Amino acid sequence: MPEKDNDDKSGERIAKVIARAGLASRREAEAWITAGRVAVNGAVISSPALNVTARDRISVDGMPLPRRARTRLFRYHKTRGLVTTHSDPEGRPTIFRALPKGLPRLISIGRLDINTEGLLLLTNDGALARMLELPATGWLRSYRVRALGRVTQERLNRLKGGVTIDGMRYGPIEATLDREQGANVWLTFAIREGKNREVRKVLESLGLKVNRLIRLSYGPFELGDLDEGAVAEVETEALRKTLGPEVVAEAACDFESPIEGEARALPSRHSGARPKGREPGIQRGRPQQPLDSGPRADARDRNDKKRDSRRRDRRGSGPRPSRPRA
């Protein structure tokens, strides 16, 4: 089948259709097309500049495009040591291999690097993922940071106007010095762009070495008390209201189609009664409790100290020099 004229305004761009089916993000779908993995009506295409309609038959790697399922969104508590990708050329463990069984095919909304933990949003709708990743969406991403070194609140306040580091411009940053703990400081850090390793690079420019980084929230969605490695779905009606009509329309979210496999039950140890009027993991103007306070945080600190005490030199010459984990 000859590819349609680029000026054809009917239908939708094929990469957007593939993304909405939950197979990949739009950018990944465009790369698949360029690599010759996508066919329309039996003919392999090479350009993503193609509009398709419901009448067209689309296949990826010879398999028909799955029927679109209801738009779903999940909160996931990522742990350190996992890569945010479906497959890693270095063979490192990935978040998608660590997810519980029974979930639909999911893609991440943005990424967290291998040593960053905390909230990662997952969805089966590639168009929604792209929409929420864009800096233009303007959603605040907040982090809890432990870093080696010292800094004053005055220096942190200067980040409100943005900063340029090695030719890269970073937008306004909200940073608060919460407390000092030994040789470290604890900070709350909030950004809207989420550029590659932004938190670490900005703090390095202030002479701080990040050794723990936890994402607390992404827009209105919170990590809350979600256990490490656990997944929790945001219910459809709560998701619709939280996204708002503009995002829902722009991403063309589908909240009416059947749920793929009707597999809604997810393994989570926080499945008890929910507070009335508030969907778990969604902010309603209430500040997030710092993760470095309370019994769980005390247990974490004790475990860190135990691990440090076990790092002995084989020659029995005492503790090894500490190496903060980036």
Query: Which residues are designated catalytic?
Result: 113
Question: What's the DSSP call for residue 193?
Answer: S
Pairing of strands 209-218, 116-123: parallel
Those residues whose C-beta lies under 8 Å from the C-beta of residue 206, and which sit 6 or more positions away, are 149, 151, 155, 156
User: Do residues 110 and 91 touch, judged by C-beta distance below 8 A?
Assistant: no
Contacts of 17 by beta carbon, 8 Å cutoff, 6+ apart: 52, 58, 65
Task: Give the max Cα distance, the chain.
Answer: 74
Q: φ and ψ at 129, to 5 degrees? A: -55, -45
* Helix H or strand E encompassing 145: strand 141-148
Which are the contacts of 136, defined by CB distance < 8 A and separation ≥ 6? none
- Quote the strand ranges of 171-220, DSSP E: 174-181, 184-191, 209-218
User: Which residue, 153, 228, 160, is CA-closest to 187?
Assistant: 153
Residue 222 β-bridge partners: 217
Query: SS3 of 290, please?
Result: coil
